Amino acid sequence: MPEIFIDHKRYEFEQPGKVLQFMLDNGMDLPFFCYHPSLSIPANCRQCIVKAGMPVFDRDRGTFKLDEKGERIIRFFPKLMTACSLDLADGMVVYTHHTDELVKQAQADNLEFILINHPLDCPICDQAGECPLQILTYKYGPEGSRFEHKKVHKPKAIQLGPRVILDAERCINCTRCVRFTDEISKTHQLTIISRGDKNYPMTANDQVFDDPYSLNTVDICPVGALTSADFRFKARVWEMNQTPGIDISNGKGCSTWVWTRDNLVMRITPRFNEAVNDHWMPDSGRLSYRTFNENRISKPWLRPDNKEQVRTTWNNAELTLREELDKVESSQILVIGSPHASVEDNYTFKKYFESLGVTDFYYLPHVVPGAGDDLLLSDDQAPNTLGVRALGYSEIAGDKLPKIVTSAKPKLVFILDDDILDRSDLTSSHLEDAFTVYWGTNHNGTSLAANLVIPITTAVEHAASYINVDGRIQRTVPAKETLYTNRRLNLEMSMGRLDHYGTKFDNWVTDANRIDCIPAWEFITRLNPGSDTFAWESSRQILAEIGGKLNIFRGVTYEQMDEENGIQLNLEQDSEVNTV
C-alpha cells in the first residue's frame, strides 16, 4: 500500500487525495482558511504550507537512493507547498510546524500578512468565538504585528442581499463565498472585485445577493466578513447551547445545529450529513427558527360555548376531552394526523383512537409544486410525509376534505399539528357542529377555530423521528426546555456556559421562554392513567414499539440514527404498512 511520512511518522493511504485532507482525516492539525472539502481548491490563502519532498529514485537499480546512514535521500520541493493542493504520493515526506522551524515561521508570517489590514473588531464581531482567523492566530500566529502604518479601510456593513451583510475589511479574500455561488448554489452572484489590498467580494453592479442558499456563505466565511442580517448582534457564540437537530421546514430534513440561549432558538445552522445535505442548508430552513419561539401555544386553550378561547388548566382540558369522548360513538370521531408531526406523535395519536374504535385516519399532504429545486429544497413542505403515510394514514386532497366532513358529520374532530384550514377548502363553518380538538405547537387559523387546544412540543423540544422525502429516518434532540423538562436532569440536552454557571435567579433567565406544553404521546398517556397499552415513558420506547409492529421500522433505534446521521428506510419492502 502506498505510504506517506508526515512528521517522521508513517501512514498508509488507499485513495488518492490531498495532503491537507488526509491530515485532517487522520486527526492531525494544520492551519488553513481557503480550503473547503466540498469546494474546489484555489490554494490562495497560503496558510496550509508544509515542507514536502519525494525520495530520489535510482532508475538503474529500481530502488530508492540511500545516504550513508542507509536512509532514503529526499529531494524537497524548492519552496514550501500548500498542503491543500498537494497530491498524496507514494513515499512522500512532509514536515509540518511540529517538526520544521521554517514551516512554523512561515505559518506565523503568513498570519501576520493576513492580519496587516485586518480590523481589530473581535469585540463587536459576530464571528468572534467561532472565528478560524482568531483561533488560528491564537494557535499559530505571531504574538504581535510589526505593521505600524495606517490600515487600509474598506466599506463596512454593506447589505449584499436580504439576508447577508458584508464587512469588507474583515474579508481575507479566501473566495469560499464566491466558489459557493459558483459551484454549489450555481447562482454565480458573487465575485471578487478590484485587486491587491482593495479587493473584496461583491455582486455585479445592480444585483442583489438573493441566492436561496446565501446564508451558507456566512457559515463558510472563515472570518466575520459575511454575517447574517437576521442573527447579527443577537448573541455571542459562547452564550449559546448547540444541539443537533433536523430542519422541519422542508421535506428534505437537512441536519442542523440548533443554537439556543435562555431557551430561545437564536439561529439554526447546517450540520454535516453526507447522505442528506453535505455542509449546506437553505436559508428558509434557518429562518424557520422563529416558529419555535414565537406565537407558541402555551397551556391548553378552551372555547366555552363557542365564545372566545381562554386559557385553561391541563386538568380541565383532560376532563373536557373525556366528557366529549363519552358523548360520542367511535364512528362520529374524525381523526386527522399530520405530515408536520413526528412518527412517534402520529403513531401514538393513531393508536389511541384505534383503541376507541376509530378506523379511518387521514392526513393532508403539504406540497407546493415548484417550490423545490435540485439542491436541498423539496416541493414537500412537511418533514414527515412519508412517515405519516408509513403509519397507515390515508392521504386526502385539500379539496376532498370538506366532503368527508360534511358526509361523515363527525361530532368530534381531532387534528394533529397541522394548519389544515389554511391549506384546504375546509372552513371553520364546516366544523361548526363538531367539537374540534387541535393538538398543536403554534397558534394558527385551525387552532383558533378549535374548541379545545392542546399545546404540544416542537421538534426542538422533544426527541422524535421524521422520515424525509428520500425515505431517510432522522431524529431530533430536545434543545429548548419546556415547563416540564430540565437540562440538568435530561442528559440528552446540552448545557451551555450560562446553564453550568448560572442559576435560576440570574437576570438573564426568562421563565416565560419555557413553553407550557408536552409531547402529544405524553398527553395520551395522561388520558389513560394506569393503562399498560399507553404507559410510555419516552419516545425511545415508542419507536421500539413501532419497530416491533411495522417491518419498515424494524431495528430502527435512536442510537443508530445518532451514529449514522439517520437511517435509509426501505419503504417499498413492507406490505403490512397499512395494517398497524
Partner 1 sequence: MSGTKTFDEKDLAEIEKLTKKYPEKQAAVLPVLWYAQDKFGHVDPSVQKLVAETMDLPEAHVYGVVTFYTQFYEKPMGKHVLDVCTCLSCQVCGGYDILNYLEDKLGIMAGETTPDGEFSIQSVECLGACGYAPMLQVTNDKYVNYLTYEKIDKLIDDLKSGKQPGFESNKMPQHENGTE
**Nearer Cβ to ligand FES (44/565):** 44
Relative orientation angle of helices 520-527 and 314-327, to the nearest 10 degrees: 70
Q: How far apart are the first and last CA of the chain?
A: 52
**x-or-dash string of contact with ligand FES, 62-101, rule CB under 6 A:** --------------------x-x-----------------
The stretch near ligand FES (CB under 6 A) out of 27-35, 283-291, 313-321, 434-442 is 27-35
Binding segment toward ligand FES, per CB under 6 A, in 37-45, 51-59, 268-276, 458-466? 37-45
Cβ(121)–Cβ(102) under 8 Å? no
Q: Which three cell numbers stand for residue 297?
A: 401555544
| Residue at 374: amino acid letter | D
- 236 binding partner 1? (CB under 8 A): no
Using CB under 8 A as the binding rule, whether residue 168 contacts partner 1 is answered as no
Q: Does 221 bind ligand FES (CB under 6 A)?
A: no
Cell of 228: 447574517
Least distance from ligand FES to the Cβ atom of residue 389, Å:
45
Pick 127 or 269: Cβ nearer ligand SF4 = 127
Residue 185 touches partner 1, criterion: CB under 8 A: no
Interacting residue with partner 1 among 127, 203, 241, 447 (CB under 8 A):
203
| Closest by Cα among 192, 210, 209 to 201 | 192
Strands 74-76 and 49-55, how do they pair? antiparallel
Binding to ligand SF4 (CB under 6 A) within 369-398 occurs at: none
Q: Grid coordinates representing 332?
A: 362520529
Residue 295, interface with partner 1 (CB under 8 A)? no
Of 134 and 243, the one with the shorter C-beta distance to ligand SF4 is 134
Q: What Rg, from alpha-carbon coordinates, does the chain have?
A: 29
The least distance separating partner 1 from the CB of residue 41, rounded to whole angstroms, comes to: 18
Among 175, 346, 457, 494, the residue binding ligand SF4 under the rule CB under 6 A is 175
Q: Are 492 and 464 contacting, i.e. CB atoms less than 8 angstroms apart?
A: no
Q: Is 465 in the site for ligand FES (CB under 6 A)?
A: no
Produce one character per residue of 162-189: b if its CB has 16 or more CB atoms within 10 Å, e if not.
ebbbbbbbbbbbbbbbbbbbbebbebeb
Contacted entry of ligand FES, ligand SF4, partner 1, none for residue 205, CB cut-off 5 to 8 Å set by kind: partner 1
Enclosing H/E stretch for 173:
none
Phi, psi dihedrals of residue 564, rounded to the nearest 5°:
-105, 15
**SS3 of 122, please?**
helix
Q: Are 371 and 377 in contact (CB under 8 A)?
A: yes
| Residue whose CB is less far from partner 1, 186 or 526 | 186
Minimum distance between the CB of residue 43 and ligand FES, rounded to whole angstroms? 4
Closest listed residue to residue 546, CA positions, set 359, 327, 391, 410: 391
134 CB-near residues (< 8 Å, 6+ apart): 122, 127, 128
Applying CB under 8 A, does 158 fall inside the site for partner 1?
A: no
Stretch touching ligand SF4 by CB under 6 A, among 5-13, 223-231, 240-248, 277-285: 223-231
Interacting residue with partner 1 among 149, 195, 307, 504 (CB under 8 A): 195
Interface residue with ligand SF4 among 80, 223, 358, 550 (CB under 6 A) is 223
Site for ligand SF4 in 76-135 (CB under 6 A): 118, 121-122, 125, 127-128, 131, 133-134
> How far, in whole angstroms, is CA 548 from its chain's centroid?
29
Q: Is 48 in the site for ligand FES (CB under 6 A)?
A: yes
34 binds ligand FES (CB under 6 A): yes
Q: Tell me the number of residues near ligand FES by CB under 6 A.
A: 12
DSSP 423: H
172 lines the binding site for ligand FES (CB under 6 A): no
Contact 256, 244 (CB under 8 A): yes
Query: Cβ of residue 143: shortest distance to partner 1, in angstroms?
Result: 28
From residue 491, alpha-carbon distances to 193, 466, 488 in Å are 49, 22, 7
- Residue 151 DSSP code: P
342 belongs to the binding site for partner 1 (CB under 8 A):
no
Q: DSSP for 343-362, please give it.
A: HHHHHHHHHHHHHTT---EE
Least distance (Å) from ligand FES to the CB of residue 76? Answer: 18
Query: Cα(557)–Cα(76) distance, rounded to whole angstroms?
Result: 52
110 near ligand FES, judged by CB under 6 A: no
| 220 contacts 177 by C-beta, under 8 angstroms | yes
Q: How far is CA 134 from the centre of its chain?
A: 25
Interacting residue with partner 1 among 20, 106, 136, 190 (CB under 8 A): 190
Among 84, 88, 136, 226, binds ligand SF4 (CB under 6 A): 226
Q: Is the dihedral angle over the CA atoms 61, 62, 63, 66 positive or is it negative?
A: positive
Out of ligand SF4, partner 1, ligand FES, none, which partner does residue 4 contact, by CB within 5 to 8 A per kind? none
Give the footprint of ligand SF4 on this chain (CB under 6 A): 118, 121-122, 125, 127-128, 131, 133-134, 170-177, 201, 221-226
Give the footprint of ligand FES on this chain (CB under 6 A): 32-35, 43-48, 82, 84
Give the footprint of partner 1 on this chain (CB under 8 A): 181-182, 188-196, 202-207
